[in-house]
Amino acid sequence: MTALTPTLQAQPADLVLNHVSLGYGETVIVRDVHGEFTAGTMTAIVGPNGAGKSTLLKGLLGLLRPLRGTIESRYPRSALGYLAQASEVETQFPVHVEDFVAVGLWTRIGGLRAVARTLARRVDEAIVAVGLQDQASHWIGELSGGQFQRMRFARLLAQDPSVILLDEPFSGVDEPTVLTLLQLIHAWHAQGRTVIAVLHDRQLVRTHFPQTLVLAERVLAWGDTRSAFDAQELVGARA
């Protein structure tokens, strides 16, 4: 515990993990994670397949209750933005791209309220920001894989969350789309939002993410990206 220096305003923690173990039934997948995600940080979670990265995200979201330990979140679950790895979306369902994005307004409009003009503008801006303005009135089933991922990001933009959790956001996505989405993530970071992303491309993490958490059932390293990767090499774990 360090005392707060009056000149340096400490950022509050958005998510605090207190010796957390996660898993399903008897099977423990992630052990003893202890630490916090400070507000405004941009963290990559890396590790080998089956290291429990997605499980950790689900724990942070409150979708999975810890087997041991506690997770405290500064925000209610509905205020967290989440991009699941495998989209559960029924792609052949007849819904337009703009309506799909507008669903991101859920915390403001709920099941019954109308979409106010300012909110409608936010939806339009989100669609432009991901470059789908020409597809706004298309059915979601007509989009390519990359366009579909852009649309899911647009919904996160419309949602306007303070904490954003992304699970493998670039898997199976074309190069130009990755660049667009990376710009959006950097913009979120610049706006002071907390970004946590599960990724496997280490080069991409080194270039773009200031913080990294290396996970292989346990936390091998957690801190600024360069020293996290160095520490992990010292441990000698392969990932």
Partner 1 sequence: MIGEIWSPFAEYGFMRRALAGCLALSAGAAPLGTILLLRRMSLVGDAMSHAILPGAALGYLIFGLSLPAMSIGGLLAGLLVALLSGVVTRHTALREDASFAGFYLISLALGVLLISLRGSNVDLLHVLFGSVLALDDPTLLLTASIATVSLLALALIYRPLIVECFDPGFLRMQGRQGELAHAVFMALLVLNLVGGFHSLGTLMSVAFVVLPAAAARFWVRGVGPQMAMAVVVAVLGSVIGLLVSFHVGIAASAAITLSLGSLYALSLSVGPLGSVLAHRRQAAKHIVRLKTGVSP
Contact residues toward partner 1 (CB under 8 A) are 61, 63, 77-78, 80, 82, 84, 88-90, 93-95, 100, 103, 106-107, 110-112, 139-140
Q: Which of 4, 36, 35 is nearest to 194 (CA)?
A: 36
| Least Cβ distance, residue 109 to partner 1 (angstroms) | 8
| Least Cβ distance, residue 230 to partner 1 (angstroms) | 36
Give 237's DSSP letter: -
Listed in sequence order, the residues at least 6 apart from 183 whose beta carbon sits closer than 8 Å to its beta carbon are none
| Least Cβ distance, residue 89 to partner 1 (angstroms) | 5
Nearer to partner 1, 71 or 205 (CB): 71
Nearer to partner 1, 159 or 211 (CB): 159
CB-based contact 116:166 (threshold 8 Å): no
C-alpha 128/C-alpha 106 separation (Å) is 20
| Least Cβ distance, residue 120 to partner 1 (angstroms) | 15
Element (H, E) at 159: helix 145-159
| Least Cβ distance, residue 139 to partner 1 (angstroms) | 7
Nearer to partner 1, 101 or 215 (CB): 101
Token representation of residue 68: 């041991």
What residue type is 49 in one-letter code? N
What residue type is 6 in one-letter code? P
